C-alpha cells in the first residue's frame, strides 16, 4: 500500500467521528478532577506547613514560656519557622510556574523536568537544612537537660524515620520520574538513524 492510500484511509474518520461526546458527563468530570487535584496539593502543602507551625508553637509554649529557654530552644523554633517559610515560598513559586505553559512539547518536557528537579532539591534540602539542624539542636538541648535514655532513643528514631521517608521519596519517586522524563526528552531529540524501527 502506498502512503497516499494510507492517508485516504486515515481521512475517512474526519467525516464520521468514532465517538459522540456526552458533554454533561465531561463537564462534571473536568470539574471533579480539577477540584480533586487542587485539594490533594493543598492538603499536602498546608498539611506540612501546619505541622511546622504547630510544632513551633507547642515547642515555644513548652520550652520558652514554661521554663527558662536556652539559645537552642530559640534556634529550634527558628528552624521550624524557617522550614515552614521554605515550604510556602516553594508553593508560591510552583503556582507561578503553573500559570506559564510552554509552546512546544519539548518545552513542556523541560518544564516538567525542572518541576521534578525542584521537588528533588526540596527533598534534599529538607534533610540538610531542616531535619539535620533540628536533630543537632534538640540533641544539644537534651544534653544540657540530662534526659532519660528512652527520650534520646525516641527522638533519634523520629528523626531517622523523617530522613528515611524523605530519602525514600527522593530515590523511589522523584528520581525515577525525572529519569523517565529525561529519557523521553532524549527520545524526542535523538538524532535519527541510531535506532531502527
Partner 1 sequence: MTEGKQQLIFKHWLQEHKALLFKVVRTYAFSETDRDDLFQEISIQVWRSIPNFREESAVTTWLYRVALNTAIRWNRKEQKHQDGRQAFDDTKHVLQKNNQPNEERLDWLYQEIAKLDEIDRSLCLLMLDGFSYRKMSDILGISESNIGVKIHRIKKHLINKSEQVKSHGI
User: In the complex, which residues of this chain contact partner 1 (CB under 8 A)?
Assistant: 1-3, 6-7, 9-10, 12-14, 16-23, 25-26, 28-30, 33-34, 100-101, 103-109, 112, 180, 184, 187-189, 191-193, 197
What is the C-alpha separation between 70 and 141, in angstroms, rounded? 8
In whole angstroms, how close is the CB of 150 to partner 1 at the nearest point?
Answer: 40
Between 28 and 151, name the residue whose CB sits nearer to partner 1: 28
Residue 169: partners with Cβ closer than 8 Å, 6 or more residues away:
123
Between 96 and 191, name the residue whose CB sits nearer to partner 1: 191
Rounded to 5 degrees, φ, ψ at 16 are -125, 90
Residue 166: partners with Cβ closer than 8 Å, 6 or more residues away:
123, 126, 127, 131
In whole angstroms, how close is the CB of 169 to partner 1 at the nearest point?
Answer: 16
Between 29 and 93, name the residue whose CB sits nearer to partner 1: 29
Grid cell digits, residue 180? 523517565
Grid cell digits, residue 80? 521550624
In whole angstroms, how close is the CB of 26 to partner 1 at the nearest point?
Answer: 5
DSSP 93-118: HHHHHHH---SSHHHHHHHHHHHHHH
Between 78 and 106, name the residue whose CB sits nearer to partner 1: 106
Between 149 and 189, name the residue whose CB sits nearer to partner 1: 189
In whole angstroms, how close is the CB of 136 to partner 1 at the nearest point?
Answer: 38
DSSP 173: I
In whole angstroms, how close is the CB of 164 to partner 1 at the nearest point?
Answer: 23
What is the C-alpha separation between 59 and 49, in angstroms, rounded? 15
Amino acid at each position: 500500500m502506498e502512503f497516499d492510500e494510507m492517508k485516504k484511509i486515515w481521512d475517512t474518520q474526519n467525516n464520521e467521528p468514532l465517538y459522540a461526546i456526552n458533554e454533561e458527563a465531561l463537564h462534571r468530570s473536568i470539574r471533579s478532577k480539577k477540584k480533586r487535584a487542587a485539594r490533594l496539593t493543598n492538603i499536602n502543602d498546608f498539611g506540612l506547613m501546619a505541622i511546622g507551625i504547630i510544632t513551633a508553637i507547642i515547642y515555644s509554649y513548652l520550652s520558652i514560656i514554661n521554663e527558662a529557654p536556652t539559645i537552642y530552644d530559640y534556634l529550634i523554633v527558628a528552624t521550624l519557622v524557617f522550614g515552614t517559610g521554605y515550604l510556602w515560598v516553594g508553593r508560591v513559586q510552583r503556582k507561578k510556574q503553573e500559570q506559564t505553559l510552554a509552546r512546544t512539547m519539548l518545552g513542556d518536557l523541560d518544564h516538567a523536568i525542572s518541576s521534578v528537579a525542584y521537588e528533588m532539591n526540596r527533598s534534599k534540602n529538607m534533610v540538610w537544612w531542616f531535619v539535620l539542624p533540628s536533630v543537632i539542636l534538640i540533641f544539644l538541648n537534651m544534653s544540657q537537660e540530662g534526659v532519660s535514655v528512652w527520650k534520646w532513643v525516641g527522638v533519634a528514631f523520629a528523626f531517622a524515620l523523617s530522613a528515611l521517608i524523605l530519602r525514600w521519596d527522593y530515590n523511589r519517586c522523584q528520581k525515577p520520574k525525572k529519569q523517565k522524563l529525561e529519557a523521553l526528552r532524549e527520545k524526542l531529540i535523538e538524532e535519527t538513524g541510531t535506532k531502527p524501527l
